[in-house]
A and B are shown apart, each in its own frame.
Chain A
């Protein structure tokens, strides 16, 4: 390539690849060559505007201009119509990418680089503030790092929203039980909630941020070994992470002597066991140890006896990915976002029956309705939205009356809903909520680890009882039994899997009771 070549960005994340980005990149290259256009193709991550993927961007003096969704059939016309000069005549023209309202309205701290940089380019990363947080951390004491994380107000983004700084403090203070003195940093990348993809986007778009966050965590608690427990259904993330880790190690950002500091941190990716339950932190640890993914009773907390019985930080991808910003821009810069006790930003993931699905990183505090209507622009089907499930398959179904609740941990908790990992799944008015309730139990049947009785047997009985209700068998008695069963699972289950499975069931029964009424002969209610 000569210096005069034009940089063209064609994403390589899973969504774009699923939409033909690989073929697109190949054909685009060939077409440009044929036309003697000098192009430099950069395989970036996604910016998270999924209805526009594959979104191809061209670097111009005015900034990066976008085109999308681009198919192979569009290549010739795009090139013909001056795409490489950033011309905007083509129907797929989107203008300056950063000016796309969906993106412009966001507050991207964690996803600041997503879709902008080449995910495996160390230079690119460093040119975009990469490793600035690590360099700051290397100059700090472990306690100071932990204090900064505490001050940022960061809470676990995996769903439980436990203050990250306090967890780190526990691990910092914990004494390893064996002679090796080993502590561990484990990244939970077993992203399994329905409608979620933020973790994957981090790993596919900006893996060094995760590596940096984990390294800082290692410095903070005195751990020299980290593992990323990655769901095996993310082969692209796997490949990108491994490439990034190898490059980071070769450049001294990982390994025995990080940035010449004398500190060590090794990082390894381990593939998950294709089980939802392995996203639960104690099952994850069991699985990481090579055992069946079975939930452990707590106490002991993983922070005290975690991986191989040693003190272990288990954090979600998004929690660890927030760390470099905090350490670079300062705890206060992060804490300035958000509301109440929910500080910083949450990358919401808008999915389901929605017109404009994608990733929306915003400070806590906006409403569900804003997300669905302002960003999502309503349902994909065009029909009225009826129910929204927030926080994955264990989250409550929210009726329209609740859509003005601010997206904030406490506000959601107050109405029996959960923010979880920020997944938002929208349903239109054709949904049968008794079927959704049944599905919640069925999901638990499929994914329960089988250790505790309420979850192991309760979920199976839950499906059966809901079936009886739907078949109008002994309806009242079975509704009462379903209520009892939900209470038993909530109060009796060992972990959140069984303990939260009733949330969508109870909310469906409570807010959509008409769907549990006997069906009339013509199928109507």
Chain B
């Protein structure tokens, strides 16, 4: 039964899924609801709104406020309707004199310990306590206000985004329960008892010092202004709101942008968001201030060379300057001498347009995207084995899993909202295997503990996954029926012979992976025999020289055990960026047109040629690393880079910098002067996700609408800029609205034929494939067959990476992410998230620290064969000896100066996760850092000059 609920209404208790329907009478109205539903919710569904305070439909019933009391015929007393499940034939009265008196008297007790400052209270107009006081008709407080109270309780303003004012607290525990049930962090509790009960972060600590991860669930659940966004305190209540999609990670949370005119007052996770169901993390919930940060560049700029000052110019000037330069390069160096990089941060429509511009206007296939450096092996590996370049499940599928294996992913930091969902399932009893060199938070956190933490050595993934398969095959744990029915026989037999070979036995691979053989065997048995076993993986799988092999190895495991094609199972890449799935879907790769259709396929190409009215190159173009190499060779001289900071995010920074410097024309389209833009000749101001319409596609293939909540600061949305550039290059583009671009995508992409803005409006979101055979989209893939018919087992021979520890570089560096910062940090560094992580540090094991005489906070030189940088030490037993770790959120820390140009054999995805390094104590920044600082200062000065001149010009023109 599909029932739609009003996402803006709180039904008091969660919906129950039951086939058994119960009919009861509430105030004489017959109401039918699933068994297990509370009386409170049943009434709410019939629009009989019983007053309530401690109940909220994202939390289990608690029964503390007692305001929702009802009378039930044949029963004693006045039970709370939130904790009373419906029963057939029950006759409930929600409005009687007795109840009215009881509710009013309880409210009188509440208000006897509550400040009477409604008119100046930040939640005035949006306060459930106020609403309920009105609803129950409270007219006086006979107790007076001189009794014992909490009115002098001190405010805690330590968190940058919200305040905690305990004088307003009604101790409903909604915040505590949200922290436990929704977020799963257990940072809040009630301390004291009776009248002294107070909400306490940690052990009466300030919020900032507690375990709180600032997900905002507590703030959202607070019925008063006890927990309140500082932005609302400053600006007052919003006057309208727009539902849109977060532009941080690949979870793709839906938010309500609460607005005052064109100013975002707050972002509130949207209850009807099908990826997040009303939950959020610190980034999406609070870190949106970058969109209006003073560093935003809103004026197009040009310059002849990178040592010259920028010149602010009009859009027309900038576009013609760019177009002329690109055409000139092509005229001199040939059609192939320029290319472009699409953005995983921009919308599907924008990404589609950029690759279209490259293929149609540049006339070549030199298009690539940042997925190259993150999930390109996923595309390759899953397409080869399962026939589609995407994860197989919805996020909600995890709630049906009996066992979850997390490989090389750190969801509680990098995909926090999914991390919370996963932890909820684990608290329900699902088992967990974590495969990671580091002790990530999932290994042990409140009420979550992994059954196996397989601490493998960086670079040994494929040996590990082969050993798992070996145990499954040799111990007879395969799902033979599934294999016989769903998998290609010949490939399976070949794989079976291969994987049965003794070198894959865990006793053999132990020396490579460091995972004890008996532990690996029990993990393999657990995975194979769990019932529903699901694999979630991240960049710890893909960013290796054997990334593609590992992805295929994972698919092999799922196939061998029949863990594909239903809820609760599957192979689930956790995509890094908001639209990395979409950018891949949209044909950003040099060899594939939208929908992963190969450029060499004449039939495919001719459809695009007909629609685009242009002849297309049938040869795949350059990948990002090829572009850098070609730039240094002098054969590649012009690049259009939209919304990606390759100078910071790509490996071997010195090499990248040299390549960028070698370009004749670098066009950067971004919201900030990012690291790459410092090498640019044309700067086209970008628009943030708040300033445009479009769609993002998340890690579960879910196409979500992005809606414009404010006008573009620079006057144009990114898709409009690409259109201008294309037109200037002589290839006409004329879209009035992004929906027209989506219509074109749908017409050309077999997996998107059913997608349109109207359908998105209707369904909320759509998981592709969405076409005639799946008009409402496809939540779970491969239910009955694979796009390639039968699934294909792939041979995954383990080949050790060349990057290994040596006497000179005895440690292995692996890089990753942290909760508060996002990717290159361009956004989050321009928010108060800085309080949690204002510099990248090098984590190392106490043993490695002691061996080098390193103390916490010491400056460390980190050197690899690629380069050297300096960062501070953090000594942590999360690490295993011999492995060090850092993040790359701050450009000056130069994490990627150290990473090498080793890459995946199939896709060139860089091997960020394994770099042999040496670490020594130092007392000054590295040579690269000195250079970086000088260059940065120079470029900032050139920008400042341009801005000052621009301001001068404007003020003169006003005179």
Any B CB within 8 A of the CB of A175: no
List A contacts of B69 (CB < 8 A): 491-492
Any B CB within 8 A of the CB of A456: yes
- A320 to nearest B CB, angstroms? 27
Whether the pair A450, B142 counts as a contact (CB closer than 8 A) is no
List A contacts of B80 (CB < 8 A): 297, 494
Whether the pair B147, A450 counts as a contact (CB closer than 8 A) is no
- B89 to nearest A CB, angstroms? 17
Interface string of B37-76 (1 = CB under 8 A from A): 0000000000000000000000001111111010000000
List B contacts of A487 (CB < 8 A): 101-102, 105
Closest partner residue, chain B, to A488 (CB atom): B105
List B contacts of A454 (CB < 8 A): 66, 106, 109
Closest partner residue, chain B, to A446 (CB atom): B194
Whether the pair A450, B196 counts as a contact (CB closer than 8 A) is yes
Complex-state Cα separation, A448 to B64, whole angstroms: 13
Given A297-B61, A458-B109, A477:B193 Cβ within 8 A? no
List B contacts of A484 (CB < 8 A): 101, 105
Closest partner residue, chain A, to B142 (CB atom): A481
Any B CB within 8 A of the CB of A277: yes
Contact of B65 among A275, A446, A449, A453 (CB under 8 A): A453
Whether the pair A178, B102 counts as a contact (CB closer than 8 A) is no
Q: Which of A292, A460, A465 has the most CB of B within 10 A?
A: A460
List A contacts of B194 (CB < 8 A): 444-450, 455-456, 459-460
- A521 to nearest B CB, angstroms? 27
Interface string of A473-492 (1 = CB under 8 A from B): 00001000100110110011
Contact of A450 among B83, B106, B110, B197 (CB under 8 A): B197
List A contacts of B66 (CB < 8 A): 452-454, 492-494
Any B CB within 8 A of the CB of A104: no
Given A450-B194, A464-B143, A297:B63 Cβ within 8 A? yes
Main secondary structure on A side of the interface with B: helix
List B contacts of A460 (CB < 8 A): 147-148, 194-195
Q: Which of A447, A450, A465, A493 has the most CB of B within 10 A?
A: A450
Contact of B195 among A292, A297, A299, A459 (CB under 8 A): A459
Interface string of B83-105 (1 = CB under 8 A from A): 11100000000000010011001
Complex-state Cα separation, A464 to B112, whole angstroms: 12
Interface string of A265-303 (1 = CB under 8 A from B): 000000000010100000000000000111001110000
Any A CB within 8 A of the CB of B853: no
Whether the pair B83, A453 counts as a contact (CB closer than 8 A) is no
Interface string of A222-249 (1 = CB under 8 A from B): 0000000000000000000000000000
Interface string of B106-143 (1 = CB under 8 A from A): 10011011000000000000000000000000000011
Complex-state Cα separation, A481 to B77, whole angstroms: 21
- A23 to nearest B CB, angstroms? 38
Contact of A297 among B62, B78, B102, B142 (CB under 8 A): B62
List B contacts of A277 (CB < 8 A): 193
Given A446-B194, A454-B106, A461:B143 Cβ within 8 A? yes
Q: Which of B147, B148, B189, B195 has the most CB of A within 10 A?
A: B195
Complex-state Cα separation, A485 to B112, whole angstroms: 13
Main secondary structure on B side of the interface with A: loop
- A293 to nearest B CB, angstroms? 8
Any A CB within 8 A of the CB of B476: no
Complex-state Cα separation, A452 to B54, whole angstroms: 10
Contact of A452 among B65, B142, B147, B192 (CB under 8 A): B65
Complex-state Cα separation, A113 to B358, whole angstroms: 96
Complex-state Cα separation, A516 to B159, whole angstroms: 51
List B contacts of A485 (CB < 8 A): 105
List A contacts of B62 (CB < 8 A): 297, 451
Any B CB within 8 A of the CB of A457: yes
- A482 to nearest B CB, angstroms? 10
- B106 to nearest A CB, angstroms? 6
List A contacts of B189 (CB < 8 A): 292
Complex-state Cα separation, A453 to B169, whole angstroms: 12
Whether the pair A464, B147 counts as a contact (CB closer than 8 A) is yes
Complex-state Cα separation, A481 to B109, whole angstroms: 11
Closest partner residue, chain B, to A455 (CB atom): B194
- B139 to nearest A CB, angstroms? 14
- A450-B171, A453-B106, A460-B195 known; 16 new pairs, CB 8 Å cut-off, are A297-B63, A299-B83, A444-B194, A445-B194, A448-B193, A449-B194, A450-B190, A450-B194, A450-B197, A451-B64, A455-B194, A456-B195, A458-B109, A491-B69, A494-B63, A494-B80
Query: What are the 10 tightest A-B residue pairs by CB atom distance, in nearest-first order?
Result: A450-B197, A297-B63, A297-B83, A448-B194, A488-B105, A457-B109, A492-B66, A460-B195, A464-B147, A450-B193
A and B contact pairs by CB, cutoff 8 A, 24 listed: A275-B193, A277-B193, A292-B193, A297-B82, A297-B83, A299-B84, A450-B196, A453-B65, A453-B110, A453-B170, A454-B66, A456-B197, A459-B195, A460-B195, A461-B109, A461-B147, A464-B147, A484-B105, A491-B77, A491-B78, A491-B98, A492-B78, A494-B63, A494-B80
